[in-house]
Amino acid sequence: MNALAYAWRSLVRQPARAVLGVLGVAAVGALLFDMLLLSEGLVLSMRDLLDRTGYDIRVTAGDPGRDAGPLIDEAAAVAAAVSAQPSVRSAITVRLADARLAGASSAVRPRRAFLQGIGGEGGRPWTRRRGRDPMGTLEVVLNDEGVRALGVEIGSEVTVSVSSCSGNEEAPPPVTFRVVGVVTFPFDSPDDITAGLTAAGLADACGTDDHGVAHAVMVASRGDAARAAADISTLRPDLRVLTTDEALGAFQEQGFSYFRQISTVLTTVTVSFALLLIAVLLTVSVNQRLGEIAALRALGFSRRRVVADVLCESALTVGIGGGLSLPLGALLAVWLDSILKRMPEIPTELHFFVYHSDALLVHVSLLAATALLAALYPMATVARLPIAATLRNEVVS
């Protein structure tokens, strides 16, 4: 019988303690797995959302900070000049505004909404689900929440009263738009109403004639975002150019780095906890079987073999527990994610726990190291066991 089979029999012989040990490792392993998913989850999820817009560079007039940031004058001309760069595939302008939207029915109260006015020929930064994109000045697309809350459908009319629009401090008169499509915006929060318009449509809603201004120019490179960003910076050194990678770097440095820190702390605590407990379980288990191990040595089992038995027992406990920890961790991640996503202003599609192969690799490596380190002391005890004295003590006791 090899060491693994013998270790298996040792575990099966004590089912209660073996099951509890495995369950303990599974619970700790699940938490460890989740902390590893959390460490990179937000950044991966944010990258996914940014990629969904179809644009990998953002050009602004300054740091957007907590609001939309300053307007770029002649943004349409900037987008046209940027599009002409050989490293750039397409560019669009994006202007933002706050508004109140009302449907045709007076029974439904007006709701606060975010407006995105898009100019240029590139793809729209949303995912169309029904209908078509706005093409005329007085056409609008809405997200699901907008359609539901305002009680409108494709073909219905909505009245847009812009409440805050950079470039015009006066409240403009309401403008009526026709809904032509239902879309999903990548950064929508659960209760957000967001509407997409043409740049000209938003300028009309803002009560200004200037269709060319925007808060940002979004640029799709031909594959090399860094080169395209350098070309744009050379073209317009007065503007701030940010690739998706740079935006993610800034995102990591800001508020949500808290989750990365907390994940590091909890990963360390969890691994230490697992190491300590498995080491104690194995040590107590080995101490209870010293007589048996001494007898095996007396029968001719080598020192290396009994040490291998202890190591295999540790590996089996951690291995089975670690295997169980993956589905358990996945379920736990769904629960923890649902708790964190209740935070205000978190986009519906943003997730805190995201699977990535590196997390699995680190998880397996940490558990393997834990199994080995936890077995070190009991292995040393077994290796140093004096056969005759142990057997004599066993008989006397």
Partner 1 sequence: MLVSRQLAESERLRVGDVVQLAPDKNGSEPRSFRIAGIYEPTPDPSRLGDAALEVRLHLPDLLSLTRDPLTPEGTEHVESINIALMDPSDARQFARDVAARMPGVMARPSADAGGNAERFVILERFHQAIAAVTITAATVFLLALTIMLVEERRETVGVLRLIGVPVRRVFMQVLVEGVVIAGFGWLFGLGLALASEGLINRFFQWRYDTALVFARITPGVAATCLMIAVPLGVVATSAASWALLRRGSLRLARR
Q: Please report, as ranges, the residues that interact with partner 1 according to CB under 8 A.
A: 16-17, 20-21, 23-24, 27-28, 30-31, 62, 253-258, 261, 265-266, 270, 273, 277, 280-281, 284-285, 287-288, 332, 335-336, 339-340, 342-344
Contact indicator for 49, 251 with CB cutoff of 8 Å: no
C-alpha angle 323/325/326, rounded to 5°? 75
Whole-angstrom Cα distance, residue 215 to residue 63?
Answer: 11
Q: Which of 343, 325, 344 is nearest to 333 (CA)?
A: 325
Q: Which is nearer to partner 1, 127 or 257 (CB)?
A: 257
| Nearest distance in Å: CB 318, partner 1 | 13
Between 61 and 160, whose beta carbon lies closer to partner 1?
61
Instruction: Give the pair of three-digit tokens for residue 355.
Output: 């699977």
Q: Which of 352, 355, 356, 351 is nearest to 186 (CA)?
A: 351
From the CB of 366, what's the least distance to partner 1, in Å?
A: 15
**What distance in Å separates the CA atoms of residue 182 and residue 124, rounded to the nearest whole number?**
13
Residue 236 has a CB neighbour count (10 Å cut-off) of 17
Shortest CB 141 distance to partner 1, Å: 30
Give 136 or 249: the residue with its C-beta nearer to partner 1. 249
We find the least distance from the C-beta atom of residue 175 to partner 1, in angstroms, to be 23
Nearer to partner 1, 141 or 316 (CB): 316
- DSSP notation for 333-372: HHHHHHHHTTSTT--TT--S----HHHHHHHHHHHHHHHH
Amino acid at 371: A
C-alpha closest to that of 38 among 266, 272, 251:
266
Helix, strand, or coil here: 241? strand
CA-closest candidate to residue 14, choices 275, 288, 322: 288
Cβ proximity to partner 1: between 277 and 391 the closer is 277
Q: Which is nearer to partner 1, 157 or 192 (CB)?
A: 192
Q: Which amino acid is at 156?
A: S
CB 270 within 8 A of CB 38: no
Write down the least CB distance from residue 388 to partner 1, Å. Answer: 23
d(CA 181, CA 48): 24
CB of 281 to partner 1, least distance (A): 6
- Taking the C-alpha atoms of residue 248 and residue 341, their distance in angstroms, rounded to an integer, is 19
| Min separation Cβ 27 and partner 1, Å | 4
Distance, CA of 28 to chain centre: 22
Which pairing describes strands 111-119 and 175-184: parallel, antiparallel, or unpaired? unpaired
C-beta of 257: minimal distance to partner 1 in Å? 6
User: Of 3 and 61, which CB lies nearer to partner 1 in the complex structure?
Assistant: 61
- Residue 189 CB, nearest distance to partner 1 (Å)? 13
Closest to partner 1 by CB, 103 vs 110, is 110
39 SS3 class: helix
- Nearer of residues 255 and 300 to partner 1, judged by Cβ: 255
